[in-house]
């Protein structure tokens, strides 16, 4: 296609006035306006001069909206509002209850997410399937790999390339409403026993193969990550036996626990901290027979439409000051020593959030094989439709 001869020439005063009116009428987007008038480029160039504009961190065109996929009760809404106020980019939040659901959406295509929160064991598969970008760390000046705890962050790096940077770490334990359930629950074995007796009709398990099958395996003395058919068959037998006694199969259990519809649930650290903060009778404990320890990451889908905004929000969330506010609100422990230093003592001394090392010893990180294992996927689907 040949170019119109004036295409690269500077915009005329008349044309600028025209485009400005179109923008004011709402006929064109801000993005289009900045593009055709050259103002976007000018702003970007000028913004590199320190002191000329204040919002240097967000130079360039971020558009007006972006979308993030994350987990229930995992962010402080104020964080996104502050980001929108600083950048003009509105953040749409999509909540998911399992990594498998996120993977399924990305495989099907057209998610519209610019940033999402996968868990440690999924990153290598996402990278292998080409569903996520290798991160351009130069766009994340607020991320500092040297202050991160390697134990929680190493799974974000695949073949020496950083595909994901850490959000929080945590555990999958048991939340019990102690004013309703008097039997002590200290292990996954007791969790399933009590679910069929004292907590009949009042216990919840996740709508998530990793933790629901994993904890059933642990209660039977097997590994959290087992994909052995005979062990999975025993876990299925247990789950099917428990199912009629359950209140619900749902990863968003906070509403039910708060309404005391449910008295006991599989529970992630951050939810445990939030529930215990607001309702002290709800206790959070780790299975002494095992369970999951996890770390969540931020990654950018290859299919993201607005990667610039994805990076901008990620960089914003990596700022220690912002991460501290998020931490205080959602209660998930940090992987970043810069954030740890800024935290108030009542957070760092909270045993739900930062348990003793000994309590973590029996826990296992999820293994990549569980994400794609057809046996586990089909077991979960059978359990739910039983």
Partner 1 sequence: MNVRSNGPNFMQAAMNTKRNLVTAALVAPAAAWLCIFLVLPFIAMLVFAFGERAPEGGYQAAFTFAQFAKLPTRAAAFWNTLVLAPAGALLCLLVAYPVAYYLAVRANPRYRLILVSLVVVPFWTSLLVRTYAWMYILGSRGIPNLLAMIGIEDVRMLNTPGAVLLGIVYGYLPLMIMPIYVSLEKLDRRLLEASADLGARPVSTFFGVTLPLSLPGVMTGVALVTILLLGEYLIPQLLGGGKVFFIGNALVDLFLQSRNWPFGSAIAVTLVAVVVVVLMVAMRIAWKVAGTRQVDLV
Rounded to the nearest 5 percent, the helix, strand and coil shares of the chain are 45, 15, 35
Tell the smallest beta-carbon distance from residue 172 to partner 1 (Å).
18
H helices, E strands: number in the chain: 19, 11
- Return the number of the residue (58 or 208) whose C-beta is nearest partner 1: 208
The DSSP annotation for 349-370 comes to T-TTTS--HHHHTT-B---HHH
Instruction: Give the integer Cα–Cα distance in Å for 43 and 167.
Output: 32
Tell the smallest beta-carbon distance from residue 378 to partner 1 (Å).
6
CB atoms within 10 A of CB 74: 22
The mark string for 336-375 relative to partner 1 (x by CB under 8 A, - otherwise) is ------------------------------------x-x-
**In contact, 290 and 221? CB cutoff 8 Å:** no
Tell the smallest beta-carbon distance from residue 199 to partner 1 (Å).
12
The mark string for 218-257 relative to partner 1 (x by CB under 8 A, - otherwise) is -------------------------x--xxxxx-----x-
Instruction: Give the integer Cα–Cα distance in Å for 181 and 166.
Output: 36
Query: Which member of 77, 201, 280, 344 binds partner 1 (CB under 8 A)?
Result: 201
381 contributes a contact to partner 1 by CB under 8 A: yes
Instruction: Give the integer Cα–Cα distance in Å for 340 and 148.
Output: 10
Query: Which member of 75, 105, 167, 327 binds partner 1 (CB under 8 A)?
Result: 105
The mark string for 258-297 relative to partner 1 (x by CB under 8 A, - otherwise) is -xxx------------------------------------
Tell the smallest beta-carbon distance from residue 230 to partner 1 (Å).
18
* Assigned token pair, 361: 């010893």
> Using alpha carbons only, how large is the chain's radius of gyration in Å?
24
Give the CA diameter of the chain.
Answer: 82
Query: Which member of 29, 55, 107, 361 binds partner 1 (CB under 8 A)?
Result: 107
What kind and span of H or E run contains 69? Answer: strand 65-70
Interface residues with partner 1 (CB under 8 A) are: 98, 100-101, 103-105, 107-108, 125, 129, 201, 207, 209, 243, 246-250, 256, 259-261, 372, 374, 377-378, 380-382, 384-386
């Amino acid at each position: 296609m040949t170019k119109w001869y004036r295409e690269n020439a500077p915009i005329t005063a008349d044309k600028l006035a025209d485009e400005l009116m179109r923008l004011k009428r709402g006929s064109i987007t801000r993005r289009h306006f900045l593009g055709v008038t050259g103002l976007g480029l000018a702003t970007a160039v000028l913004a590199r001069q320190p002191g000329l504009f204040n919002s240097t961190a967000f130079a360039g065109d971020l558009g007006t909206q972006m979308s993030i996929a994350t987990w229930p009760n995992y962010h402080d809404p104020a964080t996104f509002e502050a980001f929108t106020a600083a950048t003009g980019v509105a953040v749409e939040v999509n909540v998911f209850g399992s990594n498998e659901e996120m993977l399924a959406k990305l495989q099907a295509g057209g998610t519209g997410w610019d940033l999402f929160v996968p868990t440690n064991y999924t990153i290598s598969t996402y990278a292998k399937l080409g569903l996520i970008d290798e991160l351009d760390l130069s766009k994340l000046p607020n991320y500092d790999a040297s202050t991160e705890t390697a134990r929680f962050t190493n799974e974000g790096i695949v073949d020496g390339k950083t595909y994901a940077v850490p959000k929080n770490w945590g555990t999958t334990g048991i939340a019990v409403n102690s004013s309703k359930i008097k039997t002590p629950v200290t292990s996954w074995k007791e969790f399933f026993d009590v679910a069929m007796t004292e907590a009949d009709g009042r216990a919840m398990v996740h709508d998530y193969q990793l933790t629901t099958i994993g904890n059933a395996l642990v209660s039977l003395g097997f590994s959290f990550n087992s994909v052995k058919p005979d062990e999975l068959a025993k876990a299925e037998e247990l789950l099917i036996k428990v199912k009629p006694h359950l209140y619900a199969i749902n990863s968003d259990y906070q509403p039910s626990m708060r309404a005391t519809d449910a008295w006991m649930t599989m529970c992630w650290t951050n939810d445990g901290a939030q529930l215990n903060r607001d309702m002290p009778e709800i206790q959070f404990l780790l299975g002494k027979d095992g369970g999951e320890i996890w770390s969540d990451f931020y990654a950018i889908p290859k299919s993201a439409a607005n990667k610039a905004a994805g990076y901008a929000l990620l960089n914003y969330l990596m700022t220690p000051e912002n991460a501290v506010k998020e931490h205080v609100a959602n209660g998930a422990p940090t992987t970043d020593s810069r954030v740890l230093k800024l935290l108030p003592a009542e957070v760092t001394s909270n045993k739900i959030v930062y348990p003793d090392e000994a309590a973590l010893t029996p826990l296992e990180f999820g293994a990549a094989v569980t994400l794609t294992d057809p046996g586990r996927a089909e077991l979960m689907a059978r359990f739910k439709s039983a």
